[in-house]
Amino acid sequence: MVEIKKQLAAKGYRLTKPRQEIFASLDHEPQSVLQIIEKLKKKNIKIDKVTVYRTLASFVELKLIEETQFKNKISVYELADHQHHHHVQCEKCGKIEDICLDEKLLIQAAKKNSSFQIKSHHLEFFGLCKKCH
């Protein structure tokens, strides 16, 4: 919490109570805005949707969290303090899991086969989770 306070302050944001609560409800598991609001509700914290969206957007800007969008166009958010990875989403229930890949060859191939200076990439997997298959 001290770290995020510093980072927010550096960008001119105050660590308000809602921001603090929203940050505390984030995890390394990707969550949608609705899931975050549900989590807050369970703790008896009421923060309106607009505030949650705005707060998450500023956290993304500060690179405190990462936003991923899946096929259904719903954004999910997770803490950004761990290594680069990808996700697999269940096509039936929407559950999301992290996948760590050795992608050196893939990135090399992308660089080789394109005239662009490759900076980032977006790669998502889809399938059925343990419960659904």
Query: x/- contact string, 40-79, with Zn ion (CB under 5 A)?
Result: --------------------------------------x-
Shortest distance (Å) from residue 14 CB to Zn ion: 28
Q: What gap in Å lies between CA 129 and CA 131, rounded to an integer? A: 5
Give the other-Cβ count within 10 Å of 28's Cβ: 11
Binder among 38, 92, 99, 118 for Zn ion (CB under 5 A): 92
CA atoms within a 13 Å half-sphere pointing along the CA-CB vector of 88: 11
Q: Does 111 bind Zn ion (CB under 5 A)?
A: no
Tell me how far apart the alpha carbons of residues 129 and 95 are, in angstroms, rounded to a whole number: 7
Residues forming contacts to Zn ion in the complex (CB under 5 A) are 78, 90, 92-93, 95, 98, 103, 129, 132
